[in-house]
Amino acid sequence: PIIISDTFGRAWREGHVNFAIGVAGMDPLKDYRGTDDANGRILHVTTIAVADELAATAEMITAKAINVPVALIRGMPYQPDVGSTASLLRDRTRDMFR
């Protein structure tokens, strides 16, 4: 899989994080809805933005200020998929900023 990232500011948090602006070869989301949590309760809303999490992790080792352009992350399980960052965007009915 390949993830292209950029820096992103968050409305209610200080600091910037990297997030995925392009994804290929993997499903950018991991949906836990309908599965049990560690205490046996069923999860109803938990979907993890795996591509964004990996982009943020990569930022920690690419060190933007010293121009390291690529990070290689090995051993991360993923769901093979065509992949698209479109699935990371909320639809207009749930978007708080449009």
**DSSP state string for 17-30:** EEEEEEEESS-S-E
Instruction: Enter the tokens of residue 88.
Output: 């990371």
Which tens digits make up the pLDDT trace of 17-65? 999 999 999 999 999 999 999 999 999 999 999 999 999 999 988 877 7
Give the rounded percent of residues in the chain with a pLDDT score beyond 70. Answer: 100
Tell me the pLDDT of the chain averaged across its residues: 91
According to the model, what pLDDT value does residue 31 have? 95
Q: What is the pTM of this model?
A: 0.84
CATH class of 2-88: alpha beta
Across the range 84-89, mean pLDDT stands at 90
Task: Evaluate if residue 98 carries a pLDDT over 80.
Answer: no
Q: Is 24 left (phi over 0), alpha (psi -120 to 50) or beta?
A: beta
Rounded Cα gap, residues 2 and 16, in angstroms:
21
Rounded Cα gap, residues 18 and 84, in angstroms:
17
Rounded Cα gap, residues 71 and 91, in angstroms:
31
